[in-house]
Homo-oligomer: A and B are copies of this chain.
Amino acid sequence: MTPLEKKGVTIVVFSGELDRALAAFNIANAAASMDLPVTMFFTFWGLNVIKKEEGKVGSGGWMKRMMNVLNRGGAKRLKLSRMNMGGMGTAMMKKLMAGHNIPSLREMIEMASGLGVRMVACTTSMALMGLSEEDFIPEVREFVGAATYVGDALDSEVNLFI
């Protein structure tokens, strides 16, 4: 691989908010449509984006159970970082998106999967939150640590933290 050929995009998805998740998948899908390799590394609150909607409420002690109650997660449950207004702002944003034929977050995740975007969960955050591999949507197939992320980022041209 020559330097000029070194291409690709990595995105650390740290945030668990609807607007930031939409931005992450919008960039990821645009890049994947251009045939670029894309890796999304979900960590901390970002794990909420890729949790199964039924979610389990947790295992391993009351603190983790409580963490999971407060972080039910699942693409449908995420809220806006601003103007949530008790859910009203978030509902409004979803309506506006549908009215403009902008795909929902769940549809964007499916699209990303179809386009070959790698979705990877951070094992350190998983341990902290008492989550295991089966707690995530099936599109997430790899579970890695920060060193793997850094290796991927070094091989990519564009690296973002969202």
User: Which of A111-119, A135-143, A144-152 forms part of the interface with chain B?
Assistant: A144-152
14 cross-chain CB contacts under 8 A: A14-B19, A14-B162, A23-B161, A27-B150, A29-B146, A30-B150, A34-B147, A36-B154, A64-B96, A66-B92, A67-B92, A159-B160, A160-B160, A161-B161
Residues B154 and A157 in contact, CB atoms below 8 Å apart: yes
Chain A interface residues (CB < 8 Å from chain B)? 3-4, 7, 9, 12, 14, 16, 19-20, 22-23, 26-27, 29-31, 33-34, 36, 43-45, 63-64, 66-67, 70-71, 82-83, 89, 92-93, 95-97, 100, 102, 124, 127-129, 145-147, 149-151, 153-154, 157-162
CA distance A102 to B91 in the complex (A): 37
Residues A146 and B20 in contact, CB atoms below 8 Å apart: no
